Chains A and B, each alone.
Chain A
């Protein structure tokens, strides 16, 4: 065993520095927090090589007086606190007195700083906490710090850093969060000479979020504004219309600091679950919460992102109230479009633009629009129908609920809470995930009692307290797609020549498109040819497809080619096959039991039996309880 020795000072410093300076993003964090504490209105960030090569932060804050520059970089020196008591009333972001020193130990630091009192700025180079070069330079008020060659003298740490791209992503994530946390400060960020974003610093939360997360993100959010001692909450949270369609991003800012608090995240998630039932994507929100300073402790972790709260339960509850209130008031907001003509709504236009429509649909999914009491009697429904129509007249007319029936909605919401209160929480969480792995459900379904087909598309199977609904079109599409794709990949596509060739009228452009892509069609199993200036003739189609849908299929492939959304050869073929299969099942109805069972058997063996190629679900489950609730039996 070797002797125990005291470590050299230099080594001690490097090790300690390593605690604070973990990676480029932690350097950025320290520097930007200093800028914020200096009262800056504008902070510009530039990084190169993910921050491994070059980090530059400049601000227009107070600046550091020329006599204090040395001291700033000394260990344990800070302007932010004076004694232990101050720690419990921390209002600044930085306070440990370690950052600048640590950074200078493991990199080459250059600083240019000027206060209002100084004529010119002072420019200095720092190494190991000591100023090595000093000069004057003209500059505006504020501080500019450049950190180059991070960890050049600590090979272990240097190697430990991730790739430039990954480090860049961490840096961008950090600066984004800091920019969002400080909407009153204008931030700009450049990485490898590319302008990433600029925020205006006008204090407007939506503008700040739009600048960083994009307008598509902001569009899906509703405003939150709530105050109840000791908590004030403002910001945005996910609108119910976008549940499971959202761009996922959730940010919590407490007292101006970006933090992570699992308890709050869980609480918010629960609110949505209570209101709207299950969902698979994470709830998005950006919330600015202020609490009295003595109720938080950020000293928990050196990076200061984990926060511990006093009276955590109360705080979480109040935040959840804030969210709930926001959700309620967003439904009552009627938005009046300006032009009577409205939007020219195309086929693929999302109708949810009109405010609250989806919420109504959600409501409807729990309540049948046309209540039909005449179920297939011979299948022995195990609960009573006393033939009493539910007085859901208000809910049948979709538009009424916004304007008049606030009360009803509130009552309904209460009911839904009771419904979900009885559900097994654990099952809810991983329902979908389980289903993806476990295809045995299909074997089970095949064994279940067949209740019939509705709308010529949905097959119902019942067992015990559960009702399974199969979208036969989606299922058929998946089956077709998988089989076709396999044959296509194995080059085993069979074509059937048509007895009567089909002529398709197309525009001149379309005809040219076909002629130029005859090979693509051939690969997919279609033999087409130019028939005249504006028509093509179809002579052969894949044996998998139906004659009657041949025209539609070719047209949809043509349409996809026109849109030209392909970037990779293979994706193109897959996309075209998707189109094809989609068209193939349109209008093809399964009406009998055998047909359905056949499809289910084939479905089970596909690559992803739970969704059609366009990611729509093939099977859905409804509990008996929902029916009981619907008829007010529970």
Chain B
């Protein structure tokens, strides 16, 4: 290699060595530049022009760059594509350094720690997750540094892998760090990677050292012993928390003041919703496009703050199982609805509350500015008014009362920012204009000095005007030339010698003088000093605000709680929901129930109401039969959604409702071929059923739609039958089972607890009307052909199907009669011994063998006879 690298390039490469797997944003003046491979990658991904820079080698180094003030969008795009970005800033003083300026990595941004641009969406959290595995326990930690949330959880026991998957799919982190044990477990790794679409990252064991971890945790949360955090005995949790904290310290290089609380997940007081349920019921995303539209969240979300939006998502994913807590939320909503005027006032005031959590995080990570302080202040402005409006409605609600009593108005922080930071401050920190007049005498002094300079400038202007006799002489200013004399062309000839020409324009010319320049330099010196002082003052105020981060976070928490309650109240009002009664006797009793999402799409008038009654005794297994498209799926999902909504504390779409507390809701709905993972529809279905049968309890709600569909009729029917019996006797969970197998309707007679319902069609003169009304009683027709006709199947096919159907139905009748006659009734319970059903053919063969004259056969004849038997037996299916 010919030539030697320039000093700057040497510095670049040295720094890049410390962060090998990132794209290094290297600060050069007003730009962040990337070189070599980074440049090539970035230019492709970000659509930037690739240029070159002389680096001292024979070939120019590939280079591309982005302007400093618009870097956020580019960073965010790279993060979205899965890259990591390291930011390298100039830390030394440009003026005072000899040679190249000192540079340092100030931040490493990865998907789990990104704070900028579209990668961090407002109403959603962005989690970094860590998992430590020691073959027995999973220690899990997930944190959102943009809000300061820090959650830990210990998962152990036989079901730990399943629970881990549920947790991961609930949290949906954007980055996962693991220890080598976990990383080397290929199966585990794959299972996790399947849930998300990125790979987990292994970190060496040094990161999980117990002693260091303990020290880091104690320091971060300011505690003397881990006992006060409740995690003393969970070694896996301690190790992973330590690892995450170390990772964050290394990459953010700032103290993480926004992480103030460690939250230990106990999973006991929330309803368990597995991944399938979340997906099938479209709680947060719709099945088709994976967007928020047409999901339960989209119906319930009328929050007006980003913090409220995030909290509501959590509420939906974690319905409550404690009756008192549910009633508290219900009381609050009812209280808010009793006075619409105050409710609307509260919402109006809440609209001005900005994302206080993220502001604190930005300030802590040193990527905030004075405008963030002003936003924070403005958010606090309305709190007293909110309290007053709440005072009109809080009488009947403990929850609202506690918000009013506990909320910290943060008046001191408001005052601090109000008196110090200028309302119109710019976003940039180093250009002054931050501090209000009257706050700091030294700053005001400097400003006066600067103003004096202005006065002096004016005096100079007057003097020169008189001296030169140029009546229209003016001192003007612009960014490029600074101060100058402006002379209109009519007075061109009066310009004296000591006026040095600077610029010529159409109607005037611009000059400066030594005196003017001196004055300007003075002004600039004062200006620089002023900028520096203002920045110092800003930093001081910022750190004072940061000292109160816990108070701000508590306040933000209460405001987001209020926002969620108001959102549920408004939604309840617009959609005419009713307050459900939380039943102690395990009964689900819904009158005129509706499906919250669909009724919004079709219009509430077109959605047919339906009642529901399920209890723990005679009505715990509801079998619903009926035609395709009749609305069975919608109905059973509607019940699940109403139960979940009730346990969130929301009101429900019905005219009256009694809902018990369910510990889990399971759904097995829809046919989805998971071809990617090599599983067929039936396999997926069976896995889901397995999951349900394993984990359902008698307090659970199980929704099954067409179980047994993906295989042959008899197989499917048998499996469905057996599953029903198992759920009925062994588990006892409340179940809604929608099916085509009308044979199952016989179960109502046979078993206690089974009730048949159906949704009928009316066939009036060849026209099909979907009644959509759920009624008692089973149905023995599926109307499959009628529905197929609706789909447009050709007449010929329809007619032929009808022919075949009548034959099959006749055969079924005959078969049934035959079977009845032989008294080989299909065993309908597990209690009976399983008989071996021996077919007639085998019986005949046996008869033959016992009656055949073997003694009189030649060896060859005997062999042939044996062969014949073999052939006849081949027809049997063993």
Would you call B762 an interface residue if the criterion is a C-beta within 8 Å of the partner chain's C-beta atoms?
Answer: yes
Q: What chain B residues lie within 8 Å of A539 (beta carbons)?
A: 474
Contact between B384 and A136, CB atoms less than 8 A apart: no
When A202-B337, A339-B384 are in contact, do A507 and B422 touch as well, CB less than 8 Å?
Answer: yes
Q: What chain A residues lie within 8 Å of B385 (beta carbons)?
A: 343
In the bound assembly, the distance between CA atoms of A542 and B39 in angstroms comes to 59
Set A136, A338, A537: member contacting B388, Cβ < 8 A = A338
Task: List CB contacts (< 8 Å) of B387-410 with chain A.
Answer: 387-388, 391, 404, 409
Stretch at the interface among A205-213, A238-246, A272-280: A205-213
Contact between A503 and B455, CB atoms less than 8 A apart: yes
Contact between B573 and A198, CB atoms less than 8 A apart: yes
Set B411, B422, B431, B457: member contacting A341, Cβ < 8 A = B411
Task: List CB contacts (< 8 Å) of A231-267 with chain B.
Answer: none
Would you call A410 an interface residue if the criterion is a C-beta within 8 Å of the partner chain's C-beta atoms?
Answer: no
**Min C-beta distance of B339 to chain A, whole Å:** 7
When A137-B769, A339-B387 are in contact, do A44 and B344 touch as well, CB less than 8 Å?
Answer: no
Task: List CB contacts (< 8 Å) of B418-451 with chain A.
Answer: 422-426, 431-433, 447, 450-451
> Quick one: CB contact mask for B608-629 with A, threshold 8 Å, 1 for yes?
1100000000000000000000
* Chain B residue, CB-CB nearest to A58: B605
Set B381, B404, B433, B474: member contacting A344, Cβ < 8 A = B381
Q: What chain B residues lie within 8 Å of A537 (beta carbons)?
A: 458
> Quick one: CB contact mask for A178-220 with B, threshold 8 Å, 1 for yes?
0000000010000000000010111010110011000100110
Set A139, A337, A530: member contacting B477, Cβ < 8 A = A530
Number of B residues with CB within 8 Å of any CB on chain A: 53
In the bound assembly, the distance between CA atoms of A284 and B455 in angstroms comes to 58
List 6 A–B pairs whose Cβ atoms lie within 8 Å, in order of A's numbering: A138-B769, A338-B384, A507-B422, A508-B426, A509-B426, A529-B476
Contact between A338 and B387, CB atoms less than 8 A apart: yes
Contact between A215 and B345, CB atoms less than 8 A apart: yes
**Min C-beta distance of A468 to chain B, whole Å:** 41
In the bound assembly, the distance between CA atoms of A58 and B424 in angstroms comes to 53
Would you call B772 an interface residue if the criterion is a C-beta within 8 Å of the partner chain's C-beta atoms?
Answer: yes
7 pairs of A and B residues whose beta carbons are closest in the complex: A509-B424, A507-B424, A508-B433, A215-B341, A207-B340, A210-B340, A138-B771
Contact between A505 and B447, CB atoms less than 8 A apart: yes
Would you call B527 an interface residue if the criterion is a C-beta within 8 Å of the partner chain's C-beta atoms?
Answer: yes
Would you call B770 an interface residue if the criterion is a C-beta within 8 Å of the partner chain's C-beta atoms?
Answer: yes
* Chain A residue, CB-CB nearest to B520: A532
In the bound assembly, the distance between CA atoms of A183 and B182 in angstroms comes to 63
Contact between A120 and B771, CB atoms less than 8 A apart: yes
Task: List CB contacts (< 8 Å) of B723-743 with chain A.
Answer: none
Would you call A13 an interface residue if the criterion is a C-beta within 8 Å of the partner chain's C-beta atoms?
Answer: no
Number of A residues with CB within 8 Å of any CB on chain B: 48
**Min C-beta distance of B655 to chain A, whole Å:** 8
> Quick one: CB contact mask for B746-778 with A, threshold 8 Å, 1 for yes?
000000000000000010100001111100000
Contact between B573 and A200, CB atoms less than 8 A apart: yes
> Quick one: CB contact mask for A316-344 with B, threshold 8 Å, 1 for yes?
00000000000000000000011101111
When A343-B384, A508-B431 are in contact, do A138 and B773 touch as well, CB less than 8 Å?
Answer: yes
**Min C-beta distance of A592 to chain B, whole Å:** 36
Contact between A198 and B381, CB atoms less than 8 A apart: no
Contact between A510 and B608, CB atoms less than 8 A apart: no
Contact between B338 and A207, CB atoms less than 8 A apart: yes
Q: What chain A residues lie within 8 Å of B458 (beta carbons)?
A: 500-501, 503, 537
Contact between A136 and B764, CB atoms less than 8 A apart: yes
Contact between B478 and A530, CB atoms less than 8 A apart: yes
Q: What chain B residues lie within 8 Å of A533 (beta carbons)?
A: 432-433, 527
Contact between A210 and B341, CB atoms less than 8 A apart: yes
Would you call A611 an interface residue if the criterion is a C-beta within 8 Å of the partner chain's C-beta atoms?
Answer: no
Contact between B431 and A339, CB atoms less than 8 A apart: no
User: Besides the contacts A138-B608, A529-B474, what 13 more A-B pairs have beta carbons closer than 8 Å?
Assistant: A138-B770, A140-B592, A202-B337, A207-B339, A341-B409, A507-B423, A507-B425, A507-B433, A508-B424, A509-B426, A509-B433, A530-B478, A535-B454
**Min C-beta distance of B462 to chain A, whole Å:** 8
Would you call B134 an interface residue if the criterion is a C-beta within 8 Å of the partner chain's C-beta atoms?
Answer: no
**Min C-beta distance of A8 to chain B, whole Å:** 38
In the bound assembly, the distance between CA atoms of A534 and B435 in angstroms comes to 13
When A198-B574, A207-B338 are in contact, do A503 and B451 touch as well, CB less than 8 Å?
Answer: yes
Would you call A435 an interface residue if the criterion is a C-beta within 8 Å of the partner chain's C-beta atoms?
Answer: no
When A139-B608, A343-B385 are in contact, do A211 and B404 touch as well, CB less than 8 Å?
Answer: no
**Min C-beta distance of B737 to chain A, whole Å:** 23
> Quick one: CB contact mask for B310-350 with A, threshold 8 Å, 1 for yes?
00000000000000000000000000011111001100000
Q: What chain A residues lie within 8 Å of B604 (beta carbons)?
A: 44
> Quick one: CB contact mask for B573-609 with A, threshold 8 Å, 1 for yes?
1101000000000000000100000000000110011
* Chain B residue, CB-CB nearest to A218: B341
Would you call A42 an interface residue if the criterion is a C-beta within 8 Å of the partner chain's C-beta atoms?
Answer: yes
Q: What chain B residues lie within 8 Å of A144 (beta carbons)?
A: 605
In the bound assembly, the distance between CA atoms of A341 and B454 in angstroms comes to 41
Would you call B798 an interface residue if the criterion is a C-beta within 8 Å of the partner chain's C-beta atoms?
Answer: no
Set A42, A338, A500, A503: member contacting B391, Cβ < 8 A = A338
Q: What chain B residues lie within 8 Å of A119 (beta carbons)?
A: 771, 773
Contact between B573 and A531, CB atoms less than 8 A apart: no
Set B409, B423, B433, B609: member contacting A339, Cβ < 8 A = B409
**Min C-beta distance of A34 to chain B, whole Å:** 17
Q: What chain B residues lie within 8 Å of A337 (beta carbons)?
A: 388
Task: List CB contacts (< 8 Å) of A495-537 with chain B.
Answer: 500-501, 503, 505, 507-510, 529-535, 537
In the bound assembly, the distance between CA atoms of A291 and B771 in angstroms comes to 46
Q: What chain B residues lie within 8 Å of A120 (beta carbons)?
A: 762, 769, 771
Contact between A534 and B433, CB atoms less than 8 A apart: yes
In the bound assembly, the distance between CA atoms of A344 and B345 in angstroms comes to 16
**Min C-beta distance of B400 to chain A, whole Å:** 13
Contact between A215 and B409, CB atoms less than 8 A apart: no
In the bound assembly, the distance between CA atoms of A58 and B605 in angstroms comes to 8
In the bound assembly, the distance between CA atoms of A144 and B603 in angstroms comes to 13
**Min C-beta distance of B342 to chain A, whole Å:** 8
Q: What chain B residues lie within 8 Å of A211 (beta carbons)?
A: 340
Contact between B344 and A136, CB atoms less than 8 A apart: no
Set A42, A215, A501, A529: member contacting B576, Cβ < 8 A = A42
Would you call B523 an interface residue if the criterion is a C-beta within 8 Å of the partner chain's C-beta atoms?
Answer: yes
Contact between B388 and A210, CB atoms less than 8 A apart: no
**Min C-beta distance of A57 to chain B, whole Å:** 11
Contact between A532 and B769, CB atoms less than 8 A apart: no
**Min C-beta distance of B648 to chain A, whole Å:** 21
In the bound assembly, the distance between CA atoms of A120 and B767 in angstroms comes to 14
When A120-B769, A338-B391, A535-B454 are in contact, do A186 and B576 touch as well, CB less than 8 Å?
Answer: yes
Contact between B337 and A136, CB atoms less than 8 A apart: no
* Chain B residue, CB-CB nearest to A202: B337
Q: What chain A residues lie within 8 Å of B404 (beta carbons)?
A: 338
Contact between A206 and B477, CB atoms less than 8 A apart: no
In the bound assembly, the distance between CA atoms of A337 and B457 in angstroms comes to 53
Q: What chain B residues lie within 8 Å of A42 (beta carbons)?
A: 576
Contact between B424 and A532, CB atoms less than 8 A apart: no
In the bound assembly, the distance between CA atoms of A136 and B474 in angstroms comes to 88
**Min C-beta distance of A284 to chain B, whole Å:** 15
Contact between B454 and A532, CB atoms less than 8 A apart: yes
Q: What chain A residues lie within 8 Å of B451 (beta carbons)?
A: 503, 505, 535
When A120-B769, A140-B609, A338-B404 are in contact, do A532 and B477 touch as well, CB less than 8 Å?
Answer: yes
* Chain A residue, CB-CB nearest to B631: A138
In the bound assembly, the distance between CA atoms of A287 and B772 in angstroms comes to 43
Q: What chain B residues lie within 8 Å of A529 (beta carbons)?
A: 474, 476
In the bound assembly, the distance between CA atoms of A35 and B60 in angstroms comes to 83
Contact between B340 and A510, CB atoms less than 8 A apart: no
Q: What chain B residues lie within 8 Å of A532 (beta carbons)?
A: 450, 454, 477, 523
Contact between A204 and B338, CB atoms less than 8 A apart: yes
**Min C-beta distance of B429 to chain A, whole Å:** 13
In the bound assembly, the distance between CA atoms of A207 and B343 in angstroms comes to 10
In the bound assembly, the distance between CA atoms of A42 and B608 in angstroms comes to 15
Set B344, B388, B391, B608: member contacting A140, Cβ < 8 A = B608
In the bound assembly, the distance between CA atoms of A136 and B770 in angstroms comes to 10
